[in-house]
């Protein structure tokens, strides 16, 4: 028996279908071990060695895989074809104790051909890829684990920072500051509808003054220009005609797929990646599990020659030879792109979006259609346009109009560029009429409109991904995760499709920029990403990159943590060492200089009372809380006894143990509590009689402030009423009787019973008469 281990159960189903009964396929469900959650897990003193632990939820998975692996002749590790997948394979090899029995296979698409081809070409673990992943994991842990407590201490609890996350947040915050600082500038748009002697009309916009780009900046300038244009001779100065081309776009990378899904489908980056993952791993259909696209984490635009030939054949058959370039279109990936995988494309060209639609839900269909059409368009001819630009002159002013018409649709017959849709300044294409140089035009209509410059536009998921990619912040596999984390942490919110930083985001950014300028520097972060990428080529030891970074980072962290600290002459009452004045998120406080041996901290303005702690006998200190001042033991956390300032000792003693009873305030009124055994006794006003047990009832107040009456024998008797009971029972229905709001009239508590003491009185009066 031969065992194949993949990451996801859905992928396992697809592969098992392709291979029949020759192989057993099982899934690890991602990482089986990682750095520990609640401690650093990196031995800084031992060359930054990571301390991996098995995840609690993966123990059963490991047990199952181990049992299967022991029975197998060979074990193929078929995790995702990237550094994260390589690391998972390495962890599986280590945890399962596979040794030489394990072989690594990878495929860019989950198709029968690709899987079977991969099984013919197994290899060992690529430790350069593993080291690259380990370096990122360790570096991110060191930065996040150290910076997060610092932010919690200085700003508020529950905050976190990260090597890449914090830089992405800074980009969002800086954009918001640009927007807030923006001061609108006035300008005027002057447009004229013109016609020639033959009655041909066109629209032109004021564009120049004295041969330079110009628009009126106020009403006076606008009126002056309008006067000249209306009273002058408008002459056609220049007519430029040309055929322009637009080249077909490359197939999707992870980044461009997220950008297009945001712009065209209004799909967030995290949602896009989730849907894309399903399309890659396979979705359940009436015909079984079906994988539709190639691996979705890539920054390469390369495609296989087989896929390219399939696309060209489809273009020729569907659109005709005129849409097919004489040679295949090839695209160049970015300089720092990892070219291990193809671009994102459909696995089977014959599975058109129309055929796939009945098999998919709305989101999966829309994204598949986008991927499919982008890939087909990438192997089509350029789009061609007839472009016209006309310049007109009147006095010292110049007007301009331009337009274009489609000459040949080319790739746009299938697909439009998302960037054209985002640019609000691009005018709609229009047909420009025929005019000749030197002819004069007259004004039919003239419009003058006051405008103001607009502030920078906030980021959308699409534009933030594009900026992160351009600046080298993060990598294709992390863009969606970064955006998701910022949202989940409530550092950003959404207004429509736009990303808006919350107020705490400004505090985090300012704090980190102040103390960790390099980590928050975009260029530094991009350079670090390049270094980490370099480990994949086997040219650098990952420990060296960490060692070059961490010591100086730790030193800055130490200085940041003690910034503002000041030694005082106040002595620690626990160990006698001098106290240090420190800055905290709630202001200044005193901490023992002998930390961590002595953890004593206290408010700088603490006052010692003459009240002794009931538990340890120390003189208690005054503290302030959200409910006002109170007394607390100074030996916290060894002794955590507290008591309110207005506590009074009652005259009576505890009925249970004879201890001292203290009067306290509760949500239902005053009560007494024994300091010894904690027995409680109500002090609320006793009025009325319980109809169940005959004990007095107590007048009490609910949380909403409404008065009610409860038995003083609680919890033995749990009787309660919104009206005061008098202990009697109704002669008509046997329900308990209550005193009405007037304090005199008796009535039945049962709303369906009409008994009142007025009725009784009336009957007595009738008998007397």
State the catalytic residues: 295
Determine the Cα–Cα distance for residues 417 and 668; give it in Å rounded to an integer. 68
Q: For the chain, how long is the longest CA-to-CA vector?
A: 124
Determine the Cα–Cα distance for residues 393 and 400; give it in Å rounded to an integer. 9
Contact 529, 473 (CB under 8 A): yes
Q: Are strands 42-43 and 23-27 parallel, antiparallel or unpaired?
A: unpaired
Determine the Cα–Cα distance for residues 156 and 380; give it in Å rounded to an integer. 55
Both tokens of 666, joined, read 């509760």
Determine the Cα–Cα distance for residues 232 and 73; give it in Å rounded to an integer. 93
Q: In what order do the strands lie in the sheet with 736-739?
A: 720-721, 707-711, 696-701, 686-689, 724-729, 736-739, 746-748
Determine the Cα–Cα distance for residues 299 and 255; give it in Å rounded to an integer. 7
Contact 414, 373 (CB under 8 A): yes
Taking alpha carbons only, the member of 283, 297, 305 closest to residue 253 is: 297
Chain-centroid distance, C-alpha 246: 36
Determine the Cα–Cα distance for residues 620 and 617; give it in Å rounded to an integer. 9
Alpha-carbon distances, residue 595 vs 152, 515, 555 (angstroms): 19, 23, 18
Determine the Cα–Cα distance for residues 162 and 169; give it in Å rounded to an integer. 10
Kindly calculate the radius of gyration of the chain based on its CA atoms and give it in whole angstroms: 39
Taking alpha carbons only, the member of 621, 555, 564 closest to residue 591 is: 564
Other CB atoms within 10 A of residue 256 CB:
23
| Bond from prior residue into 34 cis (ω within 30 degrees of 0) | no
Alpha-carbon distances, residue 736 vs 702, 730, 741, 746 (angstroms): 21, 6, 16, 10
Determine the Cα–Cα distance for residues 236 and 396; give it in Å rounded to an integer. 14
Determine the Cα–Cα distance for residues 124 and 730; give it in Å rounded to an integer. 90
Contacts 24+ apart (CB under 8 A), 330-334: 331/250, 331/251, 331/301, 331/302, 331/378, 332/301, 333/299, 333/300, 333/301, 333/302, 334/299
Q: What length does the chain have? A: 769
Contact 481, 163 (CB under 8 A): no
Determine the Cα–Cα distance for residues 731 and 412; give it in Å rounded to an integer. 90
Determine the Cα–Cα distance for residues 638 and 616; give it in Å rounded to an integer. 10
What are the φ/ψ torsions at residue 49 (nearest 5 degrees)? -65, 125
Exposure of 389 by Cβ count < 10 A (0-12 exposed, 13-18 middle, 19+ buried)? Answer: middle
Contact 751, 730 (CB under 8 A): no
Ramachandran quadrant class, 30 (left: phi over 0; alpha: psi -120 to 50; beta: rest): left
Helix then strand then coil, % of the chain, to nearest 5: 35, 25, 40
Contact 238, 390 (CB under 8 A): yes
Both tokens of 10, joined, read 């859905």
Q: Are strands 642-644 and 628-632 parallel, antiparallel or unpaired?
A: antiparallel
């Amino acid at each position: 028996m031969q065992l194949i281990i993949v990451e996801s159960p859905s992928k396992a189903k697809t592969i098992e279908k392709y291979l029949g009964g020759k192989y057993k396929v099982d899934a690890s469900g991602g990482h089986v071990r990682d750095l520990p959650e609640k401690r650093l897990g990196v031995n800084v003193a031992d060359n930054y060695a990571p301390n991996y632990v098995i995840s609690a939820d993966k123990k059963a998975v490991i047990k199952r895989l181990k049992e299967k692996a022991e029975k197998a002749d060979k074990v193929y590790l078929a995790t995702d074809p990237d550094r994260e997948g390589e690391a998972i394979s390495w962890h599986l090899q280590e945890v399962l104790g596979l040794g030489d029995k394990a072989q690594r296979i990878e495929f860019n698409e989950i198709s029968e051909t690709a899987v079977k081809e991969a099984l013919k070409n197994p290899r060992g673990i690529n430790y350069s890829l593993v080291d690259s992943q380990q370096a990122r994991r360790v570096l991110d842990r060191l930065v996040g684990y150290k910076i997060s407590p610092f932010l919690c201490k200085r700003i508020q609890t529950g905050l976190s920072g990260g090597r890449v996350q914090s830089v992405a947040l800074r980009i969002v915050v800086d954009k918001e500051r640009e927007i807030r600082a923006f001061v609108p500038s006035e300008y005027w748009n002057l447009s004229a509808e013109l016609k020639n002697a033959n009655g041909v009309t066109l629209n032109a916009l004021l564009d120049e003054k004295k041969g330079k780009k110009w628009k009126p900046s106020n009403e006076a300038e606008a009126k002056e220009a309008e006067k000249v244009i209306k009273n002058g001779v408008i002459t056609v100065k220049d007519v430029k005609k040309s055929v322009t081309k637009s080249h077909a776009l490359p197939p999707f990378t992870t980044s461009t797929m997220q950008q297009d899904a945001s712009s065209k489908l209004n799909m967030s980056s995290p949602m896009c990646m989730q849907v894309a993952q399903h399309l890659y791993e396979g979705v359940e259909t009436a015909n079984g599990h079906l994988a539709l696209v190639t691996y979705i984490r890539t920054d390469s635009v390369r495609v296989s020659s087989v896929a390219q030939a399939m696309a060209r054949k489809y273009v020729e058959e569907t659109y005709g030879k005129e849409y097919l370039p004489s040679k295949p279109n090839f695209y160049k990936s970015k300089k720092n792109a990892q070219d291990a995988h193809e671009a994102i494309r459909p696995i089977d060209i014959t599975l058109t979006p129309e055929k796939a639609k009945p098999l998919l839900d709305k989101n999966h269909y829309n994204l598949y259609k986008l991927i499919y059409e982008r890939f087909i368009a990438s192997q089509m001819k350029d789009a061609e346009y007839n472009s016209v630009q006309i310049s007109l002159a009147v006095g010292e002013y110049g007007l301009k109009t331009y337009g274009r018409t489609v000459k040949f649709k080319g790739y746009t017959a299938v697909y439009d560029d998302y960037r054209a849709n985002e640019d609000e300044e691009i005018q709609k294409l229009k047909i420009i009429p025929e005019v000749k140089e030197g002819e004069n035009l007259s004004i039919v209509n003239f419009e003058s409109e006051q405008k103001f410059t607009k502030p920078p536009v906030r980021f959308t998921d699409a534009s933030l991904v594009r900026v992160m990619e351009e600046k080298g912040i993060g990598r294709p596999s992390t863009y969606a995760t970064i955006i998701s984390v910022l949202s989940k942490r409530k550092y950003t919110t959404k207004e429509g499709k736009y990303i808006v930083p919350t107020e705490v985001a400004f505090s985090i950014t300012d704090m980190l920029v102040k103390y960790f300028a390099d980590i928050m520097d975009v260029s530094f972060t991009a350079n670090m990403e390049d270094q980490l990428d370099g480990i994949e080529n086997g040219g650098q030891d990952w420990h060296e990159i960490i060692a070059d970074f961490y010591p100086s980072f730790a030193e800055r962290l130490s200085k940041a943590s003690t910034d503002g600290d000041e030694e005082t002459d106040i002595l620690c009452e626990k160990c006698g060492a001098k106290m240090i004045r420190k800055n905290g998120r709630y202001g200044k406080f005193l901490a023992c200089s002998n930390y961590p041996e002595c953890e004593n901290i206290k408010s700088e303005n603490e006052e010692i009372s003459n009240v002794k702690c009931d538990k340890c006998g120390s003189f208690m200190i005054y503290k302030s809380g959200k409910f006002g001042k109170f007394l607390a033991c100074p030996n916290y956390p060894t002794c955590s006894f507290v008591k309110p300032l207005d506590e009074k000792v009652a005259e009576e003693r505890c009925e249970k143990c004879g201890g001292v009873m203290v009067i306290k305030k509760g949500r239902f009124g005053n009560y007494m509590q024994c300091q010894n055994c904690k027995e409680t006794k109500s002090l609320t006003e006793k009025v009325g009689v319980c109809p169940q047990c005959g004990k007095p009832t107590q007048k009490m107040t609910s949380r909403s402030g409404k008065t009610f009456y409860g038995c003083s024998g609680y919890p033995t008797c749990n009787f309660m009423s919104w009206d005061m009971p008098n202990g009697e029972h109704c002669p008509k229905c046997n329900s308990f009787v209550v005193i009405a709001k007037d304090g005199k009239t008796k009535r039945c508590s049962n709303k369906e019973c009409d008994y009142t003491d007025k009725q009784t009185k009336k009957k007595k009066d009738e008998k007397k008469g």
